[in-house]
């Protein structure tokens, strides 16, 4: 923006802001404004809005800024319509189009349908950023605290300097300490460009005290040299102050990064845990090398997809609740498939690991092809329910995504339930008895064949639950399971066959190791390093981290 234009805008905004303080906004505002620059402070005119639709980038920005400072109550509605692409130009009249209904943009009077030659606005990122900033600025004076807080947070991410008078205005009237703090930070960011040295020093100190990543972005240019070797900031004292503030900010950001890494490790660990838990039963306890485990995860994910589609069509108003039904549904479907497999194929192969491996691998190919035939080769969309989108912001640079938090909790709930089933129920007792000593269990009257089916079904059902969880963070396609089968075996073998606790430690350990190495050396090397570690570990300790002692599992 040219200096001249900038000055004009500032002047205009100062005028408009002062006008705004008056009780009657529209009546006395327009008089002092220079009409040649922008008639914004008067009523909003069609020509302006047409510019929003078909003007070039700078023109659009000028109109947006003018709209905001005009204080016109229509401004918010118009900007929202622009952001949604609803504001369109029909000849010399700006209109808002919602679902084929056309209304005049200013008077809201209903109009006939548009001719084919109407013009739709091109909204690019630059414009969208300005609109967001403008809407946030308008919200700064909202009577609702939540709206003001949200607006201040949005502006703290980076605010247009043209909004300075409005921020100053909001700062003067703001009572809430949290919003006030944020506003001070925003104002400090803007004051960095001031001509007054003390103002700048104070701003730098303020940013150092409270600022986050955005403050760093603002301060950095003060401390670097331009390409010709001179400091971009000539004032030594300011530069030193900026350096101090940057160190403070970096210290705070480093904490956020460490916490983020920790969370990423737990999150990956919980994904590995839930993917491997089913296998810990079918392979770990029962000794079936189940290469179709990944496909059972995939079936669980598709069951979730089916349930989600059902809700979308028949119960769309309760869409957010679909996981409540999708969780049991995916368990039941995967468990049913697993039990049928056990009855038809696997039971004839107990004690013949190589044949089991080949047979289950064949089954996995069959299952992939069946799903491909039923649902097509392409990935299907599983939408997150609204409460699993977005994240909770803990520090300025630490956002914990809801879907990952939910999966961590879900993984441990499933783990707890499995542990309870295995240790506290009659069936769990039978399962343990059969897996530890089949003939003795049979002797005392346990129906071992039926228990095998139930146990295999349980393992597969848990794989289905994993599919339900994984559908929320990744792709759902016929090959979904292939990506998890290696990881699952890795976790179970590393943890020690026959041990639930081992699976938990192995999953968490691998999750952390992977994330730490990834931060340090990149994703490709991290994956290689983890695999090498596992190869070496299994060579040194083939029984895994935790092995059952004694003769129990030799049978």
Partner 1 sequence: MKRRQILKTLTLAVSAALVGSVPQQVFAQAKTVKVGVLHSLSGTMAISETVLKDVALMAFDEINAKGGVMGYKIEPVVVDPASNWPLFAEKARQLLTQDKVAATFGCWTSVSRKSVLPVYEELNGLLFYPVQYEGEELSKNVFYTGAAPNQQAIPAVEYLMSKEGGGAKRWVLLGTDYVYPRTTNKILRAFLKSKGVDEKDIDEVYTPFGHSDYQTIVANIKKFAAGGKTAVVSTINGDSNVPFYKELGNQGLKATDVPVVAFSVGEEELRGVDTKPLVGHLAAWNYFMSLKNPVNDAFKAKWAAYAKAKKLPGADKPLTNDPMEATYIGIYMWKQAVEKAKTFDVDPVIAAVGGQTFAAPSGFTAMMDAKNHHLHKPVFIGEVKADGQFNVVWKSKGPIKAQPWSPYIPGNDVKKDEPDGKSKV
Residue from 110, 313, 444, 524 binding partner 1 (CB under 8 A): 524
Return the residue of 45, 114, 132, 235 that touches partner 1, per CB under 8 A.
132
The answer to whether the CB of 270 falls within 8 A of the CB of 412 is yes
What is the smallest separation between the CB atom of 295 and partner 1, expressed in angstroms? Answer: 16
Closest CA relative to residue 446, chosen from 454, 436, 438, 455: 438
Q: Is 162 in the site for partner 1 (CB under 8 A)?
A: no
- Give, as ranges, the residues between 439 and 478 that touch partner 1 (CB under 8 A): 473-477
Rule CB under 8 A: is residue 161 a binding residue for partner 1? no
Whether 394 contacts 330, CB under 8 Å = no
65 binds partner 1 (CB under 8 A): no
Is residue 527 close enough to count as binding partner 1 by CB under 8 A? Answer: yes
DSSP for 408-471, written as a single string: HHHHHHHHHHHHHHHHHSHHHHHHHHHHH-HHHHHHTT--HHHHHHHHHHHHHHHHHHHHHHHT
Q: Which of 152, 253, 291, 500 binds partner 1 (CB under 8 A)?
A: 253
> What torsion do the CA atoms of 164, 169, 170, 172 make, to the nearest 10 degrees?
130
The SS3 call for residue 45 is: coil
Residues in 391-430 at the binding interface with partner 1, rule: CB under 8 A: 391, 393, 397, 399, 401-404
Rule CB under 8 A: say whether 523 interacts with partner 1: yes
The stretch among 9-17, 28-36, 127-135, 496-504 that binds partner 1 (CB under 8 A) is 127-135
Residue among 41 and 368 whose Cβ is closer to partner 1: 368
Q: Applying CB under 8 A, which of residues 24, 107, 125, 234 lies at the interface with partner 1? A: 125
Name the residue nearer to partner 1 (CB basis): 282 or 364: 364
Closer to partner 1 by Cβ: residue 319 or 348: 319
Does 42 contact partner 1 by CB under 8 A? Answer: no
Min separation Cβ 542 and partner 1, Å:
27
- Window contacting partner 1 (CB under 8 A); options: 42-50, 173-181, 229-237, 377-385: 377-385
CB of 510 to partner 1, least distance (A): 12
* Dihedral pair phi/psi, residue 120, rounded to 5°: -100, 145
Number of residues that bind partner 1 (CB under 8 A): 60
> In whole angstroms, how close is the CB of 550 to partner 1 at the nearest point?
38
Of 331, 508, 289, the closest CA to residue 417 belongs to 331
Residue count of the chain: 555
Q: Which is nearer to partner 1, 311 or 402 (CB)?
A: 402
Concatenated DSSP letters of 476-525: BSTTTTHHHHHHHHHHHHHH-TT-HHHHHHHHHHHHHHHHHHHHHH-HHH
- 6, 101, 193, 217: which one binds partner 1 (CB under 8 A): 217
CB of 221 to partner 1, least distance (A): 8
Shortest distance (Å) from residue 444 CB to partner 1: 46
SS3 state of residue 473: coil
Residue 389 interacts with partner 1 (CB under 8 A): yes or no: yes
Cα dihedral 510, 512, 518, 523, rounded to 10, equals 40
* Closer to partner 1 by Cβ: residue 138 or 272: 272
Give which of 463, 433, 495, 417 is closest to 290, Cα–Cα: 463
The helix-helix angle for 322-344 and 448-470 (nearest 10°) equals 140
Nearest Cα to Cα of residue 298 among 372, 384, 355: 372
Parallel, antiparallel, or unpaired for β 93-98 and 398-401? unpaired
Helices 125-139 and 57-70 meet at what angle, rounded to 10? Answer: 10
Asked whether position 51 contacts partner 1 by CB under 8 A, the answer is no
Exactly one of 31, 43, 146, 220 binds partner 1 (CB under 8 A); which one? Answer: 220
232 binds partner 1 (CB under 8 A): no
Note whether 247 binds partner 1 by CB under 8 A: no
User: Could you tell me if 375 and 434 are in contact, meaning their C-beta atoms sit under 8 angstroms apart?
Assistant: no
- The helix or strand, by DSSP H or E, that contains position 96, with its residue range, turns out to be strand 93-98
Contacts with partner 1 by CB under 8 A lie at: 57, 122-126, 128-129, 132, 157-158, 213-214, 216-217, 220, 227, 253, 257, 260-261, 263-264, 267-268, 271, 376-384, 389-391, 393, 397, 399, 401-404, 473-477, 479, 483, 514-515, 518-519, 522-524, 527
């Amino acid at each position: 923006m040219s200096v001249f234009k900038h000055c004009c805008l500032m002047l205009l905004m100062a005028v408009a802001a002062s006008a705004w303080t008056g009780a009657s906004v529209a009546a006395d505002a327009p008089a002092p404004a220079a009409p040649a620059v922008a008639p914004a402070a008067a009523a909003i005119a069609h020509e302006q809005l047409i510019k929003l639709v078909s003007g070039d980038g700078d023109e659009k920005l000028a109109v947006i800024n003018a709209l905001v400072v005009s204080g016109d109550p229509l401004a918010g509605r118009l900007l929202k319509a622009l952001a949604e692409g609803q504001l369109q130009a029909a000849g010399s009249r700006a209109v808002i189009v919602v679902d084929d209904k056309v209304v005049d943009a200013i008077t809201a009077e209903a109009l006939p349908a548009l001719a084919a030659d109407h013009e739709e606005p091109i909204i690019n990122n630059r414009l969208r950023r300005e609109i967001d900033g403008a809407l946030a600025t308008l919200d700064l004076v909202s009577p609702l605290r939540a709206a003001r807080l949200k607006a201040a947070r949005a502006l703290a991410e980076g605010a247009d300097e043209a909004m300075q008078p409005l921020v100053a205005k909001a700062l003067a009237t703001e009572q809430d300490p949290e919003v006030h703090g944020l506003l001070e930070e925003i104002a400090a960011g803007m004051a960095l460009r001031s001509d007054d040295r003390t103002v700048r020093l104070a701003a730098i100190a303020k940013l150092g005290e409270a600022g986050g990543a955005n403050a760093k972005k603002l301060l950095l240019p003060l401390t670097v040299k331009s390409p010709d070797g001179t400091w971009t900031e000539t004032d030594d004292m300011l530069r030193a102050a900026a350096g101090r503030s940057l160190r403070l900010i970096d210290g705070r950001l480093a904490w956020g990064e460490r916490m983020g890494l920790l969370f990423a490790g737990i999150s990956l660990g919980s994904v590995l845990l839930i993917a491997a838990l089913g296998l810990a039963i079918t392979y770990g306890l029962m000794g079936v090398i189940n290469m179709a485990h990944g496909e059972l995860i995939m079936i669980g994910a598709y069951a979730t997809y089916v349930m989600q589609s059902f809700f979308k069509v028949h119960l769309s108003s309760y869409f957010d609740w679909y996981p409540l039904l999708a969780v049991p549904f995916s368990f039941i479907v995967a468990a049913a498939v697993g039990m049928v497999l056990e009855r038809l194929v696997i039971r004839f192969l107990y004690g013949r690991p190589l044949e089991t491996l080949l047979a289950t691998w064949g089954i996995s190919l069959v299952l992939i092809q069946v799903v491909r035939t039923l649902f097509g080769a392409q990935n299907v969309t599983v939408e997150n329910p609204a409460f699993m989108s977005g994240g909770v912001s803990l520090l300025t640079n630490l956002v914990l995504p809801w879907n990952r938090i939910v999966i961590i909790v879900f993984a441990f709930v499933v783990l707890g339930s499995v542990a309870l089933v295995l240790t506290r129920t009659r069936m769990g007792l039978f399962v343990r008895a059969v897996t530890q000593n089949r003939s003795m269990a049979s002797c005392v009257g346990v129906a071992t064949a039926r228990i095998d089916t139930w146990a295999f079904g349980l393992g597969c059902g848990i794989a289905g639950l994993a599919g339900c969880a994984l559908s929320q963070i990744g792709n759902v396609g016929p090959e979904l399971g292939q990506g998890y089968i290696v990881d699952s075996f890795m976790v179970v073998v590393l943890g020690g066959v026959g041990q639930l606790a081992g699976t938990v430690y192995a999953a968490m350990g691998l999750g952390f190791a992977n994330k730490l190495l990834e931060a340090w050396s990149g994703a490709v090397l991290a994956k290689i390093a983890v695999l090498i570690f596992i190869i070496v570990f299994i060579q040194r300790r083939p029984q895994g981290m935790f092995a059952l002692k004694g003769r129990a599992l030799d049978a």
